[in-house]
Amino acid sequence: MDEDLNVTYITLDGFLEVQKYRYICFTIIFIVYILILCSNSTIVYLICIHRNLHEPMYVFIAALLINSVLFSNAIYPKLLIDLLSEKPIISYSACLFQYFMFYSIGGSEFLLLAVMSYDRYVSICKPLQYPTIMKKSTVITCLALAWLVPACQLVVSATMTVYEKLCSFTLKVIFCNNSIYKLHCVSSRAISIYGVFLLLNVAVFPLLFILFTYAKIFKITYSSCREVQKKAAQTCLPHLLVLINFALLGMYDVIIVRLESDIPKIVHLIMTLQLVLYHPLFNPMIYGLQMKEISKHLKQLLRQDKMN
């Protein structure tokens, strides 16, 4: 606690296992950060400049990749600074902001994937009604809700946390997540109940909706012609891979907080790094390679660069 400035600082104690290799870790993570920014931004750029990619499916993909950039910018700069610090610290207000960004973007990811599954359902199962259902105004509304709903709900959670008294000032993590609740002197029942509501609202219910939607798609395409089955596989498989990947990483986050004191620090560190390294790189790879139209434009862009 800094008495002069009246600012509370939290020590991030999750870096102890890598202090001897801090410069190697810094270099690797910095390279990964640049790769994340470049790969996601490249796919978004291609979707923006090519008119044949101005369809709802590609717009939602662009939103998903923008999420990865926002997420990385909320985590990586501080992470890189902390790797070079003798004693990584963060102000409590900055910690709350990082917590807010982490879960707000995570929630919007689930909601975007839910919207994308509905878009695929309408496209494959109701192709004649697709233009009237997935209008420009509908797409804009879905994007706004996907970003605003989790953000508004997380503001409430963060505000409730601000007024809790702190008895601990050390977190065994490398960035601020649900572990901040372990700083509180007394576990708040209201925060716990609201946390369950949040989890259901922005993760569990969207996940169930996605699974239900894809079950309907596969049921209809199973008895359809080969062309419809091929279209469904080409457009749905990348979304399902991203969903499975993100859902597993979301489970990691819950497990990490629950088992924090029961697992070795190095295992805890590796599991935490999965959240920030793997997923933001996974999305552009999947959509860049698996989505036919995006892949085609990406190859053209790379050929142009080679010619220049």
Instruction: Give the architecture-level CATH label for domain 9-307.
Output: Up-down Bundle (1.20)
Sign of CA dihedral 233, 122, 295, 227: positive
Q: Are 150 and 107 in contact (CB under 8 A)?
A: yes
Structure letter (DSSP) for residue 181: G
Please give the pLDDT value at position 146.
Answer: 93
Please give the pLDDT value at position 217.
Answer: 85
Phi-psi region of 6 (alpha: psi -120 to 50; beta: other; left: phi over 0): left
Please give the pLDDT value at position 3.
Answer: 41
Tokens linked to 273: 């790094």
Please give the pLDDT value at position 6.
Answer: 59
Q: Indicate yes or no: pTM above 0.85.
A: yes
Phi-psi region of 163 (alpha: psi -120 to 50; beta: other; left: phi over 0): alpha
Q: Are 250 and 106 in contact (CB under 8 A)?
A: yes
Residues of the chain predicted below pLDDT 50: 1-5
Please give the pLDDT value at position 100.
Answer: 92
Q: Can you say how many angstroms the Cα of residue 105 is from the centroid of all Cα atoms in its chain?
A: 6
Please give the pLDDT value at position 1.
Answer: 45
Q: Can you say how many angstroms the Cα of residue 51 is from the centroid of all Cα atoms in its chain?
A: 27
**Domain chopping of the chain, boundaries:** 9-307
Residue 82: enclosing H or E segment and its boundaries? helix 56-83
Please give the pLDDT value at position 191.
Answer: 85
Tokens 């008495």 — which residue?
3
Please give the pLDDT value at position 17.
Answer: 64
CA-CA distance, 139 to 60, in Å (whole number)?
8
